[in-house]
Structure 1
Amino acid sequence: MIGAQQEREGPQRAPQEREGPQRARPPREGTPPGGARRERREHTRAALLQAAQRLWAERGVHGASLDDVAAAAGLTKGAVYSNFTGKTDLLLALLEHYTHARFGTEVHELLHETDQPVAERLRRAGEGYRHRLGTEDARLLALLLVEFWLYGMRDYAAGWRLAEWYEERRGRLARHLPDVDGVPAADRAALAMAMDFGLAAQHLLDPDRVPADLYATGLDLILGPALRQPRSM
């Protein structure tokens, strides 16, 4: 019976022989390629960061919700949560974005351009600091830093994450400093950051009596002994 059935129907073919070679399915219509998706995502993040920067500087962190940020960016609240886990995550991303060069460029050169005398490196750091404080961005960033500090003081979870952010930045600086005169490198890093932010706050309110030139003097007092310490081979 089986043989007769095979004679009537003919030999069975493998599925691949019946259907032919499988072809890759083309991408769905309207789906952007990977590069375009990344570019669009970066554009969305930049728009949200810019909107948050403006609103939080004007109204404070508690005065502008994520709905407000999304609306100011011309986006939906879903766009916020597709890029950030919440307000604290957006706050930290903004803090990192707008302070990356603030306490970084001058100090980086101060630490790594060891072919220059310490006095020259301090002078250049002071010039860069004075230039930054003369821009409108300096005032905006000062407002944001105060708002972020207040937000962290009022919200325990946010405060813990902000403290971790500060600790990470202190660690970046301390890694390049030796312990000198009984002062640990971590303490010098904390003092240098406090001087950087605190001097900016005073200068922006009273530039005549608190000149930005004090920055180089402060760095020399705090980091100078470590910078002049001979490097161990």
Structure 2
Amino acid sequence: MYDGPMAEREDEVGSAARAFAEAVTALTKAVGSGLTDASKEMSESLAVSLRDASRELAQASTQVRRARGGSREQRDAHRQTASTRRRAQAERTRADLIAAARQVFAERGYEGASVGDVAAAAGYTKGAVYANFDGKEDLLRQIVHELSDEQDRWFAAQTGRPLADVFAEACDPEVSLPSTLLSLELYAYAVRHAEARDDLAPYLARSWDHAARLIAAARAGVDAEPSQGDRDTALTVLSVLTFAQVLDPIMGDAEPLRAAARIIERHLSAAG
């Protein structure tokens, strides 16, 4: 059952137990045969042997208990390690499925995509999706949370940069088109599903708030609160940028994005 040191301790207990049993048997026989002078000496010797055997048995038992205690600690550590690995694997699976859902929803549309499409894109079965999410709507909610965090980090990183550079980068179709398509899916879903607006509205309004704060910071300093004019400019910039990003792949000549860059620059100059 055990290997190594644990097996050796089990053998020690067995040997001590046998010695103890033999000493008890011998003493019993001596008592049963009557205590002559010779048997008295023998019984005293047996009593010593019995005490020694009892002591050895107790020591061996203590060692085994300690060894078993150590093995329990090892088993607990092993279970904890296995649990940590399972949690890490579950987190990787969720991250893979969310990334796949973002791609599939942007390419095929939320309404046109299925749970099976998401699972296939991530390299999992549909069962893996349902083991981690309640369904497609739950995936969409998780995407919104992830996008909100990403948006907060992105806008925070732009603070202090020239606005022309910030929005010029946003006009890069390779960078912005996938996120724009995904955002449009969220807009459309919120319009079609009134019950989802409480979850989606804070995220959808956040881009406007962040853009207004960037414009206010460029106009009056980092801690400036956006004015109504800043918010109007931000909505104009975002609207022009979004429409140009959608129109660009349809026309295929990059003119919509160039026009958007010119319009945005004029509005930012006027706001400044």
- TM-score using structure 1 length: 0.61
1:165-221 deviation digits (Å, cap 9, x = unpaired)? 1112322333442578x7343333333322221221122222437342334433334
Q: Would you tell me which structure has more helix in proportion to its own residues?
A: 2
Query: Are the counterparts in 1 of residues 100 and 122 from structure 2 also a CA contact under 8 Å?
Result: yes
- Indicate if the aligned counterparts of 1:127 and 1:213 stay in contact, CA closer than 8 A: no
- The aligned counterpart of 1:26 is 76
Compare 149-158 and 212-221 and name the one that shifted more. Answer: 212-221
User: Which segment drifts farther, 163-172 or 182-191?
Assistant: 182-191
Higher relative contact order (CA 8 A, sep 6+): 1
Q: Deviations over 1:22-80 (max 9, x none)?
A: 7646145595353x445423421232123323433443212223244234423344543
Equivalent positions of 1:144-183 (< 5 A) are 144-176=182-214, 177=216, 183=228
Q: Cα 1:202–1:71, aligned 2, differ >3 Å: closer, same or farther? A: closer
| Aligned match of 2:239 | 194
> SS at the partner of 1:112?
coil
From 193, 201, 213, the equivalent of 2:258 is 213
Contact 1:88 1:158 in 2 (8 A): no
| Identical counterparts, % of pairs | 29
* TM-aligned CA distance change 1:127 to 1:85, over 3 Å: same
**Counterpart of 2:30?**
none
1:203 aligns with 2:248: yes
How far did 1:225 drift?
Answer: 4.3
Q: Secondary structure in 2 aligned to 1:213?
A: helix
Q: Pick one of 94, 116, 121 that aligns with 1:45.
A: 94
How far the C-alpha of 1:138 sits from its partner, in A, is: 4.5
Q: Per the alignment, do residues 93 and 199 of structure 1 end up closer, same or farther by CA in structure 2, a change over 3 Å counting?
A: farther
Code of the residue aligned with 2:170 in structure 1: it is Y
Query: 8 Å contact 2:115–2:129 — kept in the other structure?
Result: yes
CA 1:223 to 1:161, structure 2 compared with 1: closer, same or farther past 3 Å? farther
1:112 is matched with: 160
The whole-number CA distance in structure 2 between the counterparts of 1:153 and 1:49 is 22
Q: Do residues 55 (structure 1) and 104 (structure 2) align?
A: yes
Contact 1:188/1:222 (8 A) holds in 2: yes
Give 3-state SS (helix, strand or coil) of 2:123's partner.
Answer: coil
Conserved 8 A contact 2:170-2:176: no
- What code does the residue aligned with 1:153 have? V
Larger radius of gyration: 2
Whole-angstrom CA distance in 2 between matches of 1:30 and 1:67: 33
Cα distance change, pair 174–106 in 1 and its aligned pair in 2 (3 A): closer
Pick closer, same or farther for the CA change 1:173–1:200 going to 2, 3 Å.
Answer: same
Distance change (3 Å), C-alpha of 1:107 and 1:210: farther
> Helix, strand or coil: the match of 2:195?
helix
Task: State the AA in 2 paired with 1:49.
Answer: I
Which residue of structure 1 aligns with residue 38 of structure 2? none
Report the RMSD for the aligned CA atoms in angstroms. 4.0
Q: Which runs of 5+ in 2 are unaligned?
A: 1-61, 217-223
TM-score scaled by length of structure 2: 0.54
Instruction: State the Cα deviation string for residues 132-175 of structure 1 (Å, max 9, x = none).
Output: 31x2x654444433333332222222344322211123223334
Contact 1:51/1:69 (8 A) holds in 2: yes
Q: Which runs of 5+ in 1 are unaligned?
A: 1-16, 114-120, 229-233
Tell me the amino acid that sits aligned with residue 124 of structure 1.
D
1: CA distance, partners of 2:250 / 2:149: 23
| Alignment: residue pair count | 197
